Amino acid sequence: MTTPDLPLASSGGCGDGCACHGGEGHDDPMECGLDPALAQLLAEQGLDPLLVEDVANLAVAEDLDNGVDVTTEATIPEDAVATADFVAREAGVVAGLRVAEAVLSVVCTDEFEVERLAEDGDRVAAGRRLLSVTARTRDLLTAERSALNLLSRLSGVATATRAWADVLDGTAARVRDTRKTTPGLRALEKFAVRMGGGVNHRMSLSDAALVKDNHVVAAGGVAEAFKAVRERFPEVPIEVEVDTLHQLREVLDAGADLILLDNFTPEETSEAVGIVAGRATLESSGRLALENARAYAETGVDYLSVGALTHSSRILDIGLDLRETEGAPEAGAE
């Protein structure tokens, strides 16, 4: 769809409707400088527009390194305008299209237009156009790499997650992420997991407890560790990692309602499901691969914990193709 109301970009990507009043500056650090329509779309996806704006600014600042895009400045006339297409070079699941728009928003120094040709979470074929943007050519090329880095990374996470979700289809188990995320990009990568059909685990150390082996050692036992957390933070959800069926019985008797089965075989997992008999939610971790995911899911566990969704997913190859414009010099994608 075409969204002529979205591109209200002036200095810093702010529009006439922005709280900073079209580039006059905004003193409140909690005030978003993105166009309000784009900020609303991000919020509807469960993303903090302020965080996305910060990530976009950081990515662009890193690329410019307090200078200018010397190649683009030298080869592209200042007043040149072009249309560029974000294109999937391979099949996959796309995520981060609005994030890419945020990058464009902070770079573009004049009005720009966006045509949305795909939505986050869509399965796309190779050659599919995802997003078309008409803007100053210099701005398009300066924003190109930062926008593609984020879009390709998030789409890679979504694509990997979808592969797991597809394998688990028809079972009651869901694939779930971990905190093994790229520093500074956790919210975005966990968003990509959701776009791929996965489920988010805790977002931080503060919103839920996860009692792991080192906590058990420090507390003097798995049941003792669970009880200590329950006493100190009675309202916080607690998950307890266990290595053996004996530990499983201990924490089950202590009242744990979410238990992580670490490095259990499918046979041991099936036995654990029988012991728990619905009294707690079970999550499998370790030894997991796409090849054996179905076997674990069919034991009756609720979740498969897969850190590789965010720490090892390769990017989805996405490029930016500048259309040839009559009277404008040719420019190639990076």
Question: Is residue 318 classed as helix, strand or coil in its secondary structure?
Answer: strand
β-strand pairing of 129-136 with 113-116 = antiparallel
> Amino acid identity of 216?
V
Q: Which of 53, 189, 262, 283 is catalytic?
A: 262
Known catalytic residue at 291: no
Q: Which of 180, 230, 287, 294 is catalytic?
A: 180
Q: Are 49 and 43 in contact (CB under 8 A)?
A: yes
Look up residue 124 and give its two tokens. Answer: 């796309």
Q: Which of 123, 129, 179, 212 is catalytic?
A: 212
Q: Are 238 and 256 in contact (CB under 8 A)?
A: yes
Q: Which of 98, 136, 145, 153 is catalytic?
A: 145
Known catalytic residue at 262: yes
Q: Are 138 and 73 in contact (CB under 8 A)?
A: yes
Known catalytic residue at 180: yes
What is the sign of the dihedral through the CA atoms of 301, 206, 251 and 230? negative
64 exposure class (CB count in 10 Å sphere: 0-12, 13-18, 19+): middle
Known catalytic residue at 145: yes
Known catalytic residue at 212: yes
Q: Which of 241, 250, 283, 302 is catalytic?
A: 241
Report the catalytic residues.
145, 180, 212, 241, 262
